[in-house]
Chains A and B, each alone.
Chain A
Amino acid sequence: MNPVAGGAFALATVGKVVLFFTVLMLAVMLATIFERKVCGFMQDRSGPNRVGPWGLLQVIADGIKNLLKEETMPEQAVRPFFLLAPVLAILPATILFAVIPFASPLPTPWGLVEMIVADVPIGFLYVLAIGSIGVYGVAMGGWASGSKYSLLGGLRGSAQMVSYEVALALSLVPLILLTGDVRAPEIVSMQQTFTAGPATYATWFVFPLLVGLFFFFVSGLAETNRLPFDLPEAEAELITGYHTEYSAMKFSMFMIGEFAHVITVAALVTVFFLGGWDIPFWQGDNIRVLSDGTVIGEPTWWKTLLTLGAFGLKTSLLVLVFVWIRWTLPRFRYDQLMDLGWKFMLEAVTVYILVIAFVILGIEAVGIPAGGWYAFVLFLVNLALAGALFFAMDRGTLIRGGAKGARSAGGDAAQGQGG
């Protein structure tokens, strides 16, 4: 069966866009209730449980409340930008999803429909490009509000997001080194075990790129502006920063944007490191569409559903980790945040890229073909690197004054940053 083409392709794409946007918004709604439930449980409360079964309808009640609330318009605000900012906050997080493959291809009478909205050849470079637009929502919202607190929040947000973007982009370089491709569906199939077609690594990239996952996750966390990186919001100092002046639905749009961002980062981690929609230890879902249109494997509709479930499960688990971190770790101080970004992450990622590049070079010189053993060697290297990373971060102290001469000893780069 060939991939769909022509009019059917256009129709399928429109269908996917509509379906996917709806599903994402539903997922955002569920994520808000999920977060409130989880944080309740973590604090030995039971969370919202009055509206609907297990409080699931609480989100609808909140939505209605937000729609009916008064929209305020501060006198000092710059109207066009003030109105544009929430849109810009929500937009990048949603359109990022376009390049994420979320299930195995679906066979239809008109051809094979790949379960990805737009399989662009630039793949995750698109992710990085769109991801950096997210900063406009924060900076613009902060500036256009005409409030000092908001402006400070916006400034902090833009500095933070720009800083961590560097680490975010660099943390994906090892992935390119390994796969030689930036298309997300290709990255997913490289993590599956194929016997036919181009070589794959037969394992999720969480193993051969363990440390890369850590870097990607931390910078992704910083990009979403959530604790422990929520300095742009910082309730205690900035009264929630860039969205202080927003009310009602405009405020919810910032919130929806934040949750959509969380889900997007979780989905990206899933695709890049946790095998995407791959179901482990099962060969039936090894379906791959090569760029010339040949299809390896046997796509069926129930496989699409199953893999969609696997993708959803992995993503939700990662969202749980996000929530878990948010309700545990305290906020960084601003200089700690910048130190961590520029003085620690950047160096560490660069070193990591170099090490991985040389190891790959070595493996290829020895002549191990791409596959399980290749990944295993990389995994061992990563374990060693993870140990070294832990050692370096362990030396970062909680309280800067705690270690003698921490400021003056310039060589001790990891000092006082924490991880």
Chain B
Amino acid sequence: MPGNVKVVERPRAESSYVRAAAKGMSITMRHLLSPNKKTQQYPDEKWELAPRTRGTHRMAVHEDGRAKCVACGLCPTVCPVNCIKLVPAEDENGERYAAIYEIDEFRCIFCGYCQEVCPVEAIHLGVHYENAEYSRERWVYDLERLVEQEHDVTALWDPQDPASQ
């Protein structure tokens, strides 16, 4: 062995294979016998999600069922990945509404800016994660679909700690 290689002498108890193996075996046996299993039976038992979980969107509605969106154009502007499509229109009372409002949930990064920026608290992210679909097209949520969603909406800040301190 060349002279400049540092040789570390380890005590037998640390470097013995047999003892290390025996210790390992005792650890696995302990876990085998322990009744404390960590598996969560997912579809039967679900996580309790935090109120600020950011999942797929939901549109808030007026009492008469119309979407609250006033087609101000702020959310498509702020969206970092440009996944909101908005075509504004005006009804006979001169009120603006979204003629087309689509969010591509596949492109969305769930940053939450759209919810934050919305002046009328119309678009919300949701506390929701079970979104399997059979086709990509189904991932583009139109206004109707956004209105239909029923899950809880995301809280933008913790009510107990609004300034995040």
Contact = CB atoms under 8 A, between A and B. Distances in A.
Interface of A: 38, 40-46, 324-325, 327-329, 390, 393-399, 401-405, 407-408, 417-419
A21 B21 CA distance: 36
B28 A42 contact: yes
Q: Name the 7 nearest CB pairs between A and B, nearest first.
A: A418-B17, A397-B15, A46-B39, A328-B28, A402-B10, A42-B28, A44-B38
Contacts of B17: 393, 396-398, 417-419
B9 interface: yes
A45 B39 CA distance: 5
Interface stretch (B29-37, B101-109, B132-140): B29-37
Contacts of B10: 397, 399, 402-403
Nearest to B8: A402
B24 interface: yes
Contacts of A40: 39
B28 to A, nearest CB: 4
Contacts of B36: 44
A207 B91 CA distance: 95
Interface of B: 1, 7-10, 12, 14-21, 24-25, 27-29, 31-32, 34, 36-39, 41
Contacts of A396: 16-18
B24 A328 contact: yes
Given A42-B32, A44-B34, A419-B18, A395 B12 contact: yes
Contact of A329 (B15, B19, B24, B31): B24
Given A41-B37, A45-B37, A404-B7, A398 B32 contact: no
A38 B18 contact: no
Given A418-B18, A419-B17, 7 more contacts: A41-B37, A324-B32, A329-B25, A394-B16, A395-B16, A397-B16, A403-B9
Could you say which of B8, B25, B28, B41 has the most chain A C-beta atoms within 10 Å of its C-beta?
B28
B25 A328 contact: yes
B16 A41 contact: no
A376 to B, nearest CB: 27
B21 A41 contact: no
Contacts of B37: 41, 44-46
Contacts of B8: 401-402
B155 to A, nearest CB: 33
A403 B37 CA distance: 40
A325 B15 CA distance: 19
A184 to B, nearest CB: 30
A contacts with B: majority SS: loop
A327 B36 CA distance: 18
A167 B31 CA distance: 33
B40 to A, nearest CB: 10
B24 A398 contact: no
Given A44-B31, A325-B25, A402-B8, A394 B38 contact: no
Contacts of A397: 10, 15-17
A398 B25 contact: no
B32 A45 contact: no
A45 B42 CA distance: 13
12 contacts: A42-B31, A46-B37, A46-B39, A324-B29, A328-B21, A328-B27, A329-B21, A329-B25, A397-B17, A399-B15, A405-B1, A407-B1
A329 B9 CA distance: 24
Contacts of B9: 402-404
B49 to A, nearest CB: 23
Contacts of A327: 28
Given A45-B37, A46-B37, A404-B7, A324 B28 contact: yes
Between B7, B15, B41, the greatest number of chain A beta carbons within 10 A of the residue's beta carbon is seen for B15
Nearest to B37: A46
A43 B7 CA distance: 36
Given A45-B39, A46-B39, A324-B32, A390 B18 contact: yes
A19 to B, nearest CB: 32
Contacts of B38: 44-45
B32 A38 contact: yes
A329 B19 CA distance: 12
A38 B33 CA distance: 10
A40 B31 CA distance: 10
Contacts of B14: 398
Contacts of A418: 17-18, 21
Given A324-B25, A407-B1, A398 B16 contact: yes
Contacts of B29: 324
Nearest to A390: B18
Nearest to B25: A328
A34 to B, nearest CB: 12
A394 B18 contact: yes
A41 B31 contact: yes
A394 B14 CA distance: 10
Nearest to B34: A44
Nearest to A320: B32
A327 B32 CA distance: 11
A188 B12 CA distance: 41
Contacts of B20: 398
A327 B21 CA distance: 12
Contacts of A394: 12, 16, 18-19
A393 B29 CA distance: 22
Contacts of B18: 390, 393-394, 396, 418-419
